[in-house]
Amino acid sequence: MEEIKEELALVSIKRSEMCAQCPQEGHCRLISEQGIRQVWAVNLVGAKPGEKVTLGIGEKKLLKASLVFYIIPLLALFLGAGLGKWISKTGYQFPIEGILGKTINNLLFSADNPSLILGGVFLLVSFLGIWLWNQRKLKQSEFRPRVLEVLRDGEE
């Protein structure tokens, strides 16, 4: 642990042997190029700088975060693609005359283009919404990792 600020502790996390067995190893944002990342954790046990600690995240919070980060973008993609498919079936066209209007209508409304465009837009909007939600939730201690215990000398 590096620093204490109010009820939060700045904890340095380094890559461990367990990381090699993790199925998310290649996607983990926890590991920086140097193999160390610092996170702010709620200090439940009153740990002091220089002590080694164990961190934990509540299972319900982890499940909720997983649902938000995986299910919402997937649903947004399907919703946008479905709306695009419905628009392409209606045969809607922009009321623009000439070659410009024909080009725009062909790009936007032919084949599966509306599904592709709206699916992508809805997906990007969902990512933006999740990012905004995440910025707000990071300030709440319930979604932060917690210092669960101080390790004795020699413990890893």
Give pLDDT tens digits for 116-127.
Answer: 888 999 999 999
Query: What Å distances lie between residue 73 and 67, 137, 138, CA to CA?
Result: 10, 18, 20
pLDDT for 151: 84
Is 33 inside any structural domain?
A: yes
Range of the domain at 73: 3-150
Total structural domains in the chain? Answer: 1
Is 31 inside any structural domain?
A: yes
Tell which residue, 38, 48, 41, 50, has the closest CA to residue 14: 38
Give pLDDT tens digits for 5-64.
Answer: 888 888 887 766 666 666 555 545 555 556 677 778 888 888 888 888 888 877 787 788
Q: What pTM, to 2 d.p., does this model score?
A: 0.58
Is 156 inside any structural domain?
A: no
Is 97 inside any structural domain?
A: yes
Is 155 inside any structural domain?
A: no
Q: What does the H/E/C string look like for the chain?
A: CCEEECCEEEEEEECCHHHHHCCCHHHCCCCCCCCEEEEEEEECCCCCCCCCEEEECCHHHHHHHHHHHHHHHHHHHHHHHHHHHHHHHHCCCCCCCHHHHHHHHHHHHCCCHHHHHHHHHHHHHHHHHHHHHHHHHCCCHHHCCEEEEECCCCCC
pLDDT for 127: 93
* Angle between the N-to-C axes of helices 113-137 and 98-109, in degrees from 0 to 180, rounded to the nearest 10: 70
